[in-house]
Amino acid sequence: MRDIHHFIDGKAVAGTSGRFSDVYDPNTGQVQARVALASPAEVDDAVRRAVKAQAGWAAMNPQRRARVMFAFKALLEAHMDELAQLLSSEHGKVIADSRGDVQRGLEVVEFACGIPHLMKGDYTEGAGPGIDVFSMRQPLGVVAGITPFNFPAMIPLWMSAIAIACGNAFILKPSEKDPSVPVRLAELMIEAGLPEGVLQVVQGDKVAVDALLTHPDIRAVSFVGSSDIAQYVYATGAAYGKRVQAMGGAKNHGVILPDADMDQVVKDIVGAAFGSAGERCMALPVAVPVGEATADEFVARMKDAIAGLKVGISTDAEAHYGPVISAAHKAKIESYIQMGVDEGAELVIDGRGLTLQGHEGGYFLGPSLFDHVTPGMKTYQDEIFGPVLQVVRAQSLEEAAALPSQHAYGNGVAIFTRNGLAARDFAAKVNVGMVGINVPIPVPVAYHSFGGWKRSAFGDLNQYGEDGVRFYTKVKTVTQRWPEGDIGDQAFVIPTMR
């Protein structure tokens, strides 16, 4: 059986804890590899080596660090197909979706290539008599990223590219469910010219997570995962004096006004709800049509659109989406479908019971559609994270906007309309972190930043973009004076603008 190792000081390193976790092929349900699970001692060793490597990397001028990022970008493009195939083999998403996973991460690497500009500080000449003030951005030291199974390329790249470009060393703890792509990314970054030890990949579970959260040499932790764990990571990391950004779950809504282009709405929502088997924190699992006529038309047309979807193995070029990540997650989604029925929602299309010939052990679920879902239902309140679309009917825009605004999650929301004034007012007032106007999955481009509100995010700074640079750096401000002759009593006076 293939073993997946840690990646320390530029090479694969076998685990010594004696603990392993099975890595499955979601298309077949068969074990295809096992991954080492790090002990606290192994985490400590990786961090200590990163501390040694970080000083030299931080001393390198930002232009030379940017050249490594440029070379890394070129390698990602050259190895795109290889990375996508490896990603699909462990995650289960179709190849086209895996390519998108890598591409969205690559775009943050492109942004990180601009680090010489992004690291510039400010300068004020003559802030006082003979006094100048300037600021500089400096790396934190050794930082860590804890990433989820659903984007094993994109999210590690979101974190590591900016952290490393800023001059930090980075410890990556990827999901144990699909751990191979993060190791391959690290290999390519070494090939691009990154010094050994600046990027370490430590495989593991909660033991490794806790070791990172409590390690005295880890200065900051970035996390993406479920909200309960995000809150735990934030609280624990902060208690140990670390800067923390912890992105949690979501329940994104799509509000459909009567004037919307229904052809485009159906096309957009069927992809946003069921793409990647719904295993996206920016999926759109709740549709909110305004008015009964709008709702009736949307449900009828969505039924037809769902009938045209093909679920297949990840290498099937004609499949719209593949299996979910694990047997346990499939069972959880199925339990939510049954819960929706028990709560009184109308199950229009039931995706349970789907099997593919020759892949009977795979973790496949067909698309499910619920109508007449109400806000009091637990299935509406919870993140299902699967190919399940719920329709909550509203009678006015105000009622529709209140649903995402009052929900515990606040990651993303979309509105579909031709009315610019309504869209503008909705975007300004809705209590959600990321808004799409006729855009179903409003993930910001790499030079903005990604982050939700409420239980979708813990911490003050968002992922990537300029917020990413702020998160992975600290600001030092220098006030300087070069006096002529004896300064006399001025030595006892705080410098002022006078």
Query: Taking the mean position of all CA atoms in its chain, how far away is CA 396?
Result: 33
Q: Is 394 helix (H, G, I), strand (E, B) or coil?
A: strand
Q: DSSP state, 444?
A: P
**Residue in the block written with tokens 């490896």:** 86
Is 281 among the residues known to form the active site?
yes
DSSP 290: B
Residue 368's closest CA among 237, 270, 465? 270
Are the CB atoms for 142 and 51 separated by under 8 Å?
Answer: yes
> Is residue 2 within a helix (H) or strand (E), and if so which, with residue range?
strand 2-4
Q: How many residues in total does the chain contain?
A: 498
- Going by C-alpha positions, the residue among 220, 238, 275, 277 that lies closest to residue 463 is 220
Q: What are phi and psi of 243, to 5 degrees?
A: -80, 130
In the numeric block, which tokens belong to residue 100? 């998108």
Of the residues 281, 306, 337, 377, which is catalytic?
281
Q: How does DSSP assign 302-335, residue by residue? A: HHHHHHT--B--TT-TT-SB---S-HHHHHHHHH
**414, β-bridge pairs:** 254, 436
The answer to whether the CB of 236 falls within 8 A of the CB of 210 is: yes
Distance CA 194, CA 65 (A): 8
The phi, psi pair for 457, rounded to 5°, reads -160, 135
**Radius of gyration for the chain, computed over Cα atoms and rounded to the nearest angstrom:** 25
Residues serving a catalytic function are 281
